[in-house]
Amino acid sequence: MSEKQPLIQVKHLKQYFDINMGFGKAKPLKAVDDISFDIMEGETLGLVGESGCGKTTAGRSILHLYKPTSGEVIFNGKPIKTKKDIAELRTKATMVFQDPYSSLDPRMTVMDIIAEPLDINVAYNAAYKDKEKRRERVLQLMDYVGLNSEHAARYAHEFSGGQRQRVGIARALAVNPDFIVCDEPVSALDVSIQAQVINMFADLKEKIGLTYLFIAHDLLVVRHISDRIAVMYLGHMVELASAKDIYDRPLHPYSKALISAVPVPDPKVAKANKRIALTGEIPSPLNAPKGCPFNTRCPYATDQCRETMPEFREIEKGRFVACHRAEELNS
Amino acid sequence: MALLEVKGLHTSFFTDAGEVKAVNGVSFDLDYGKVLGIVGESGSGKSVTAYSIMQILAPTGKIVSGSIKFDGQELVGAGEKVMKDIRGNKISIIFQDPMTSLNPTYTIGRQLMEAITLHTDRNKEQARERAIEMLKLVNVNEPEKRMKQYPYEFSGGMRQRVMIAMALACEPDILIADEPTTALDVTIQAGILELMKDIQKKMGMAIIMITHDLGVVAQLCDEVIVMYAGSICEQGTENEIFYNPCHEYTKGLMRSIPTIEKDDSRLEPITGTPIDLLNMPKGCPFAPRCDNAMKICLTRSCERIQINDYHQAACWMNVKKAAEEGKLDELTAARSEAEREGTVSADE
């Protein structure tokens, strides 16, 4: 991995939303609060965390679907700043959404859904003006994702969840992107279909040379598909390491609890596992605690944790963690 | 006598498009104090089985045939009066989404007390005490204060705890949990599952755990039923199902889930698409997706075959395997049929 260049560099990305508190007052909801990481070319970075931790927002901010509050996203060495940069980014980076039911227009045929990025994008609409060419490209894309060419004239409602997700993926591939943000792409699918789609993601990566940001809450799926995994909590990134390291030896107390809570589909392992119980609930991002975001639930929290925000630092080669006591707790 | 005996249960939904046979001949027994897991994908009939037991089916749904006996009492056709006494009192159910199961306009306390006063002759003050006691049992902090709050003031995990408290307030013999943790985060899910395990030990009720997540089953259950397209494919003790699966569908499921050990290897998915309940195939419902389907699988569905004392599976592969090993005599259920058809030898 070391010889590879970072395709995406995210630097101090912040995404705040103003929440109307009534009486003309607004309060910032810090959905993503200062995260920094790189995604190498050809890599799959898994992004995990519980609901409300900001993982989806992070994915969307990187693609500039929201205008980031501050921070920088550098794509292929080029910072994304102007509208033109964003338009260009749209031809290189796309997204697959979670819900294959609501992310496809029910009044469009599969052909039109998949071709829509080509129709809209200035860089492509000239090249695919020709009906035959456009059709050819769509059929090629459908072939990539394992859909039958005869399905092109059908509407989304005629498909099962797994097939719809394939349509969504074909649409994401239409502009020939280098990078795809996959936002919980398999969580709405049945177990037996999940495996089909996961394998397809792996195949496409090989075939087209894609880079993924794979957002999911199912840790076993993320573990399977990712090279590296980042764990988020309350808008912050708390740990980043290779998929194997993070499972074998998580360093951050939150990652430890999260991984110990994964229901392992093996009774002997499940019964032997000692779960690290977390007390309390995830705090509201409107009232994030002072200091380390995890200090309210962390069994090891000290006064320092309650006062100062730990820095996201590399404590071993390739292992980043945001915890004051990381060395001490893991020695 | 088992606590709950379900025999040959058929439940259908009569829709404009035709009869949807959601449950096709499901039979199982549930003993006191056991945790039974029912696993299956969407449309496998696992929830409909539970709703049939409670008789809370949608208006188009109907139990077509079969028998459900609770403690020796027949529930099918027993009438609403009997069912009212059973529901929430003898058999309770909790649902996937704890938000829609609670009434947003009433306080938690009022809803808990309603369940208690309805089924017992406790007065209001006693019901209040009981409600607070139940909230303590499910580890809700400051129960007195929480009683006065509304559902929106509770997080998802806390709401599910309230639902469990409500379901258990009348000390039912059976708790049916329909995907109770699917809407929750993993750390919260682990807490709820642990809570259910603890309470089960304390109160000794039987649990029917309906889920699509084999991980949840592995943590909680004594016995497992695997369902596909409205029928039971396989049933057995937890260890038998996980370590000795004997139905091709179960085997496929086990292969298709990522595990921590199965590192970088490719997953082995089950091919094909889920079944359309309006157009059920002849023969074994899983045959169109089964890699090892034989001729007989396409024409005849397999009866349940006794694999051993703790394990039954409805798959012709077991007949084939037994024939190969010369142990056909030991198979009880499907033997005579298979021989009559001459299929076992014809297919080898």
Question: ipTM score of the complex?
Answer: 0.82
Ranges of CATH 3.40.50.300 domains, chain A: 6-226
At a CB cut-off of 8 Å and minimum separation 6, what does B269 contact?
Answer: A192, A193, A194, A195, A196, A198, A199, B256
By the 8 A CB rule, do B226 and B37 touch? no
CA–CA dist B70, B74 (Å, integer): 6
Whether residue B160 is found in the same domain as residue B248: no
With an 8 Å Cβ cutoff, are A160 and B214 in contact? no
CA–CA dist A77, B75 (Å, integer): 69
Pick the last residue of a domain from B152, B171, B190.
B171
b/e per residue, A101-117, with b = 16+ CB within 10 A?
Answer: eebbeeeebbbbbbbeb
By the 8 A CB rule, do B38 and B210 touch? yes
Which 3 state secondary structure label does DSSP give A30?
strand
In chain B, how many domains are there? 2
What average pLDDT does range A181-197 have in this prediction? 88
CA–CA dist A266, A262 (Å, integer): 11
Task: Scan residues 80-109 of A and list those with Cβ closer than 8 Å to B.
Answer: none
CA–CA dist B62, B98 (Å, integer): 26
CA–CA dist B209, B213 (Å, integer): 10
The answer to whether position B88 is within a domain reads: no
With an 8 Å Cβ cutoff, are B187 and A160 in contact? no
b/e per residue, B98-117, with b = 16+ CB within 10 A?
Answer: beebbeeeebbbebbbbbbb
What average pLDDT does range A34-62 have in this prediction? 92
Shortest Cα distance from A130 to chain B (angstroms)?
34
The pLDDT mean for chain A works out to 90
With an 8 Å Cβ cutoff, are A50 and B257 in contact? no
Cβ neighbours around B136 below 10 Å, total:
13
Pick the last residue of a domain from B171, B203, B232.
B171
Give the closest residue to B178 by CA, choosing from B67, B300, B92.
B92
Confidence class of residue A9 from pLDDT cuts 50, 70 and 90?
very high
Stronger pLDDT, A190 or A138, i.e. the higher one = A138
pLDDT at residue B330, rounded to an integer: 60
Which pairs count as long-range contacts for B180-183, CB under 8 Å and 24+ apart, including other chains? B180/B94, B180/B95, B180/B96, B180/B209, B181/B211, B181/B216, B182/B96, B182/B211, B182/B212, B182/B213, B183/B96, B183/B97, B183/B98, B183/B156
Shortest Cα distance from A72 to chain B (angstroms)?
30
With an 8 Å Cβ cutoff, are A266 and B273 in contact? no
CA–CA dist B152, B242 (Å, integer): 39
Enter the DSSP assignment of A303.
Answer: H
The answer to whether position B157 is within a domain reads: yes
At a CB cut-off of 8 Å and minimum separation 6, what does B130 contact?
Answer: B116, B122, B169
pTM for this model (two decimals): 0.86
Compare CB distances from A220 to B187, B242, B259 and report the shortest one's residue: B259
The CATH T-level fold of domain A6-226 is: Rossmann fold (3.40.50)
b/e per residue, B218-256, with b = 16+ CB within 10 A?
Answer: bbbbebbbbbbbbbbbbbbbbebbbeebbbbbbbbbbeb
The tokens describing B237, both together, are 């003790």
Shortest Cα distance from B221 to chain A (angstroms)?
9
Confidence class of residue A300 from pLDDT cuts 50, 70 and 90?
very high
The answer to whether position B114 is within a domain reads: yes
Closest residue of chain B to A163, computed from CA coordinates: B273
pLDDT at residue A32, rounded to an integer: 93
Give the closest residue to B251 by CA, choosing from B318, B334, B298.
B318
CA–CA dist A60, A54 (Å, integer): 10
With an 8 Å Cβ cutoff, are A198 and B259 in contact? no
Write the pLDDT tens digit of every residue in A82-126.
Answer: 999 998 998 899 999 988 888 999 999 999 999 999 988 877 777
pLDDT at residue B141, rounded to an integer: 85
Shortest Cα distance from B282 to chain A (angstroms)?
21
Cβ neighbours around B278 below 10 Å, total:
11
The answer to whether position B230 is within a domain reads: no
The amino acid that residue A154 corresponds to is R
CA–CA dist B219, A268 (Å, integer): 9
CA–CA dist B247, B307 (Å, integer): 11
Closest residue of chain B to A218, computed from CA coordinates: B186
At a CB cut-off of 8 Å and minimum separation 6, what does A172 contact?
Answer: A94, A95, A96, A180
Compare CB distances from B239 to A199, A217, A267 and report the shortest one's residue: A267
CA–CA dist A79, B80 (Å, integer): 68
Shortest Cα distance from B298 to chain A (angstroms)?
21
What average pLDDT does range A33-49 have in this prediction? 94
The answer to whether position B96 is within a domain reads: no
**Rg for chain B, CA atoms, rounded:** 22
The answer to whether position B56 is within a domain reads: no
By the 8 A CB rule, do B314 and B304 touch? yes
Closest residue of chain B to A247, computed from CA coordinates: B260
Task: Scan residues 141-200 of A and list those with Cβ closer than 8 Å to B.
Answer: 160, 162-163, 190-196, 198-199
Pick the last residue of a domain from B151, B171, B191.
B171
Over chain B (348 residues), what is each successive 10-residue block's mean pLDDT? Answer: 93 91 93 94 91 93 95 92 91 87 93 90 92 90 91 88 91 93 85 90 93 91 94 94 94 86 74 82 90 89 88 89 75 50 44
Three-state SS sequence of chain B: CCCEEEEEEEEEEEECCEEEEEEEEEEEEECCCCEEEEECCCCCCHHHHHHHHHCCCCCCEEEEEEEEEECCEECCCCCHHHHHHHECCCEEEECCCHHHHCCCCCCHHHHHHHHHHHHCCCCHHHHHHHHHHHHHHCCCCCHHHHHCCCHHHCCHHHHHHHHHHHHHCCCCCEEEEECCCCCCCHHHHHHHHHHHHHHHHHHCCEEEEEECCHHHHHHHCCEEEEEECCEEEEEEEHHHHHHCCCCHHHHHHHHHCCCCCCCCCCCCCCCCCCCCCCCCCCCCCCHHHCCCCCHHHHHCCCCCEEEECCEEECCHHHHHHHHHCCCHHHCCCCHHHHHHHCHHHHHC
- A50 and chain B: CB distance < 8 Å anywhere? yes
Whether residue B248 is found in the same domain as residue B163: no
CA–CA dist B324, B74 (Å, integer): 43
Whether residue B254 is found in the same domain as residue B342: yes
Domain that holds residue B335: 244-273+284-347
The tokens describing B249, both together, are 């569908």
By the 8 A CB rule, do A213 and A179 touch? yes
With an 8 Å Cβ cutoff, are A267 and B270 in contact? no
pLDDT at residue B342, rounded to an integer: 47
- A247 and chain B: CB distance < 8 Å anywhere? yes
The answer to whether position B34 is within a domain reads: no
C-alpha angle A179-A184-A189 in degrees, rounded to nearest 5: 125
By the 8 A CB rule, do B23 and B52 touch? yes
A294: exposed, middle or buried (Cβ count in 10 Å: 0-12, 13-18, 19+): buried
- B140 and chain A: CB distance < 8 Å anywhere? no
**Strands of chain A, DSSP E:** 6-22, 25-40, 44-48, 70-75, 78-79, 93-96, 179-183, 211-215, 228-233, 236-242, 313-316, 319-321
In this structure, are strands B73-74 and B61-70 parallel, antiparallel, or unpaired?
Answer: antiparallel
